[in-house]
Amino acid sequence: MKIKLITTVFLIAILGALLSLAGSTRQADDPAVLLRAAIEMEEVDGDLQGAIDLYEQIITKYGDHRTIAAKAQLHIGFCYEKLGLIEAQKAFQNVIDKYPEQTESVKTAQEKLLLLVKAKDFLEKKSEEFQTRQVWTGREVDGSGKISFDGKYLSFVDWSTGNLAMREMATEKKTLITKKGSWKIDAMEFAMDSVWSRDGKQLAYNWDNVEKGRVELYIVGLKNLESRLLYQIDFKRDWISPVDWSPDGKDILAFFTGEKRACQLGLISVKDGSIRIIKTFPAIDPFPMAAQFSPDGRYIVYEFPQEELKREKNISIISSDGKDEWPLIAHAANDNLLGWSPDGNWILFTSDRTGTWDAWIIQVMEGKPQKSPQLVKRGIGLINSLGFSQDGSFYYNVEGGRYNVFSAKIDPETGHILEMPKKDPLPYQGYNTYPGWSSDGKHLLYVSDRGPMKRQRVLCIYSLDSGSLREINLKQKFVHFGYPRWCPDGRSVLLFAEHIQSGNGLFKVDTQTGEATLLIQEKDRIPGILHWSPIMALDGKSLFYDYENSSEQYYQIRVRDLETGKEKELLRHPPHDNNQLALSPDGKQLALILRDEKNMRMVKVMPTEGGEPVELYRFELKGRNIVSLDWSPDGRYIYFPKRTTDGWELWRVPVQGGDAENLKLKMRNFINLNIHPDGQRITFASRVGDEMLPKIWVMENFLPKITERE
């Protein structure tokens, strides 16, 4: 079910963050070593508050080392700047005032201070011109909430605790609305989506109570922060997501999903929790979906897939009593609803009809479309709506950690990089990952995210010869999928996916027909978790996969005979290993990376028939990072990345023994590292530029003035 995947993702993310934080705050007597650790925490881990604390310790303890202290003070400014906090200006000024002889640091601080002052002056001018501006960035940024109607507060989930929180936009003050405690202390439960009442005095939010197996809908008053349970369901069968609050304050607009209510849009009474269904949709997974009341409460605008199992969506309007309905946007392209303007005259949406994700508006009167849509902002990207404030400003979230597919050229003999990585010419730049070359080297398989919050995924195949792109129309009701791998036949791929009915499993997908066949189901492996690196043997008759048994605390590599269903254990190891397996070109060996209790990663190879793995190389890496690896086509080398203080470096080690080589290729990530069959092309996915941190933006003064109604 959907909630199972969501919970798993959050658990992994939270545990990874905690381990990263614990590992990064190491002690050292050498201030230079401590400074490097703080910079790693800031730039690699992205733990800005933890880095600030460490920089301040350096300044306090090693103030006599003025060069290092000045750099620490400078980096405090960098951290506050990334967090979007006003303390950045003071931090940079302290570099200038306290360390005037440190010319390099002072020069950088002066440049930063000048930019901040200019930006402050610009924002304080009440411009009446169209503009977009960033109002928040940092690791705390979350796109599951909404802006209050007066524009003063933004609701969000504080993922360091799982609590519902709100941010005062003017002062940047954070207030926790729920008080569940820490992840370590309390049971696994957390807030999810939230919506404001029009008067800004109340919030409705859903609460994922994992221990009790429930999703609960609460209303909380901001005066006393006391929550009232309004509705609850068993998340194993159902799910509920609040999307708006009625203008009269009497009802919560919500989507209901799951086996019991496959897909329904309805109203939940604020008074007694009773439900009135507005519309029932086909029994398919509906996410992503959005819906909103018109300002007068007479109509509801909503988005929904054009056809079953199709990612493209249209936008329609229905009367709030559910009696009348008509299309608003019916276009072959994919259209995502963003919101209804406070004056009731415009509906904002994004569309990929021009080949890029652009923002559009369409005029409405009495709920009916008027004229044709107008382009507002080209290239706005896959954004998540946070709603309108009453002055017509629109707030939205841009996710961090966006990815592109890159390829570099290498001399397979010497290991010299002949051409630095370039983005592969794929559409939807910034939203592509998990690349893999077919055995003939003519086709690149990858996954493309086509919706906000990564809720629409498309399996794609790019032709290297023709430059054409083909999207696989999956004939299954998958909630989510990822980690695709080619099968030896060159026609089908292995896919780790969550099916709307059968849950998580490993599937074989025919790339011509889109038909998917379930090979292994995760629930058959309870209590345990399937991992993400299935590999099919060269003859197509058996499947290698890894599995973690959570109750008996061990990690396994197994091989399954696809004809008989019989399985064999190839390797058993202590748990908590994030591995990607790689099959040798001759099909006789598996390459893998294991971790010991001292956070040492070991690159090993083992026979596919089973046997003791042979260690080729070991290196230190803390946390639960998934490290990908691949064989050279001639079977002589294993390629893998190693983490540094400012990213990852590509290495290779000889299979027959010998020293590992640093190939001097540095990137932020090497996701699904894959060597082209010619051995001269290295392909992988990596994060893009400075877009690692999520951001909140506001778009202002873009709604046309209507002086005469037609």
pLDDT (0 to 100) of residue 444: 97
pLDDT for 186 equals 54
The b/e string for 475-485 (b: 16+ C-beta within 10 A; e otherwise) is ebbbbbbbbbb
pLDDT the model gives residue 284: 54
Residue 19, pLDDT > 50, answer no
Q: Are residues 457 and 527 in the same domain?
A: yes
> Residue 689: which pLDDT band, with cuts at 50, 70 and 90?
low
Q: What's the confidence (pLDDT) of residue 683? A: 97
Domain span at residue 152 reads 138-280
Return the half-sphere exposure (C-beta side, CA atoms, 13 A cut-off) of residue 154.
29
For every residue of 191-239, which 3-state class applies, written as one string?
Answer: EEEEEECCCCCEEEEEEEECCCCEEEEEEEECCCCCEEEEEEEECCCEE
Domain match, 461 and 587 both? yes
Q: What is the pLDDT of residue 342?
A: 96
630: its two tokens: 């691949």
Tell me 612's DSSP state: P
**Amino acid identity at 318:** I
**Contact present, 571 and 556 (Cβ < 8 Å):** yes
Residue 264: what pLDDT?
Answer: 87
Identify any residues that bridge with 414 across adjacent strands, giving them in sequence order: none
What distance in Å separates the CA atoms of residue 693 and residue 696, rounded to the nearest whole number? Answer: 10
Query: pLDDT at residue 409 above 70?
Result: yes
**Considering its fold, how many domains does the chain have in total?**
4
Cα–Cα dist 636/679, whole Å: 11
How far apart are alpha carbons 570 and 572 in whole angstroms?
Answer: 7
- Is 693 domain-assigned? no
pTM of the model: 0.64
pLDDT class of 118 with cuts at 50, 70, 90:
low
Q: Over 70: is that where the pLDDT of 71 sits?
A: yes
The answer as to whether 696 is a domain residue is no
Answer whether residue 133 is part of any domain: no
pLDDT value at 456 more than 80: no
Among 280, 315, 350, where does a domain finish? 280
Cα dihedral sign, 374-382-454-246: negative
* Residue 302 domain-assigned (yes or no): yes
Query: What percent of the chain stands above pLDDT 90?
Result: 54
Apex 162 CA angle, 161 and 167, nearest 5: 85
pLDDT at 237: 65
**Comparing C-alpha atoms, which of 534, 509, 505 is closest to residue 520?**
505
Helices (H), 2-135: 2-24, 31-40, 48-61, 66-83, 87-98, 103-124
What backbone phi and psi angles, to 5 degrees, belong to 450? -120, 20
Q: Average the pLDDT over each of 279-293, 417-431, 501-515, 689-703 and give the range with the smallest value.
A: 279-293
Confirm whether 217 is domain-assigned. yes
For 281-343, give the secondary structure using H, E and C. CCCCCCCCCCEEECCCCCEEEEEEECCCCCCCEEEEEEECCCCCEEEEECCCCCEEEEEECCC
Domain with 513 in it: what CATH number?
2.120.10.30
Residues 201-233: pLDDT tens digits?
999 999 988 777 889 999 999 888 999 999 998
**Residue 671 near residue 327 (C-beta atoms within 8 A):** no
Considering the chain, what is the average pLDDT of its residues?
85
Q: Where is the domain boundary, 398, 431, 449?
A: 398
User: What pLDDT score does 5 carry?
Assistant: 39
Span 469-481, pLDDT tens digits: 999 988 676 767 8
| Predicted local confidence at residue 16, as pLDDT | 45
Is 427 found in the same domain as 549? yes
- Give pLDDT, residue 234: 81
Q: Both 414 and 349 in a single domain?
A: no
User: What distance in Å separates the CA atoms of residue 336 and residue 319, rounded to the nearest whole number?
Assistant: 20
**Average pLDDT for 535-552:** 87
**Residue found by looking up tokens 């490993």 in the block:** 506
Give residues with Cβ within 8 angstroms of 269, minimum separation 6: 250, 251, 275, 276
- Specify if 659 maps to a domain: no
Given pLDDT bands bounded at 50, 70 and 90, which one contains residue 338?
very high
State how far the alpha carbon of 149 is from the alpha carbons of 202, 245, 288, 391, 410, in Å.
11, 11, 23, 9, 55
Residues 99 and 171 in one domain: no
Which candidate, 240, 190, 249, places its Cα nearest to that of 217?
Answer: 240
Residue 648, pLDDT above cutoff 80 = yes
Residue 180 has pLDDT above 90, yes or no: no
Same domain, 557 and 415: yes
**Candidate from 236-250, 487-501, 681-695 with smallest mean pLDDT:** 681-695
pLDDT average, residue stretch 319-323:
95
Q: For residue 147, what is the DSSP state?
A: B
**Contact at 8 Å (CB) between 487 and 527?**
no
Q: Is residue 132 a part of any domain in this protein?
A: no
Q: What is the CATH number of the domain that holds 174?
A: 2.130.10.10
First to last CA, the chain: 48
Judge if 379 and 483 occupy the same domain: no
Q: Which residue has the higher pLDDT, 626 or 460?
A: 460
Residue where a domain terminates, one of 348, 377, 398: 398
Residues β-bridged to residue 167: 154, 174
- In sequence order, which residues have a C-beta less than 8 Å from that of residue 369 and are 6 or more positions away? 328, 329, 362, 363
SS3 19: helix
Considering the domain architecture, whether residues 535 and 521 belong to the same structural domain is answered as yes
Taking 60 as the threshold, does the pLDDT of residue 270 lie above it? yes
Whether the CB-CB separation of 161 and 211 falls below 8 Å is answered with: no
For residues 645 and 33, is the Cβ–Cβ distance under 8 A?
no
Lowest average pLDDT, out of 393-402, 485-494, 581-590, goes to 393-402
Please report which confidence band the pLDDT of residue 523 belongs to, taking 50, 70 and 90 as the band edges.
low
More confident residue, 532 or 138: 138
For a pLDDT cut of 70, what percent of the chain falls above it?
Answer: 85
The answer on 292 and 276 residing in a single domain is no
pLDDT given at position 73: 95
Q: What is the pLDDT of residue 4?
A: 39
Asked if residues 488 and 474 have their Cβ atoms less than 8 Å apart, the reply is: no
Residue at 709 is within a domain: no
Specify whether 494 is located in the same domain as 557.
Answer: yes
- AA letter at 630: D
Which residue has better confidence, 308 or 546? 546
pLDDT over 70 at 437, yes or no: yes
Tell which wins on pLDDT, 134 or 9. 134
Q: Which tokens sit at 350?
A: 């994004």
| 3 state SS for 557-611 | EEEEECCCCCEEEEEEECCCCCCCCEECCCCCEEEEEEECCCCEEEEEEEECCCC
Secondary structure class of 185 (helix, strand, coil): coil
User: How many Å separate Cα 575 from the centre of its chain?
Assistant: 25
Tell me: do 272 and 387 sit in the same domain: no
The CA distance from 272 to 278, in Å, is: 18
Tell me how far apart the alpha carbons of residues 559 and 542 are, in angstroms, rounded to a whole number: 7
Nearest one of 69, 89, 78, 92 to 43, comparing CA atoms: 78
Residue 120 and residue 214 in one domain: no
pLDDT, position 76 = 94
Least confident span in 113-122, 559-568, 634-643:
113-122
CATH at 97: 1.25.40.10
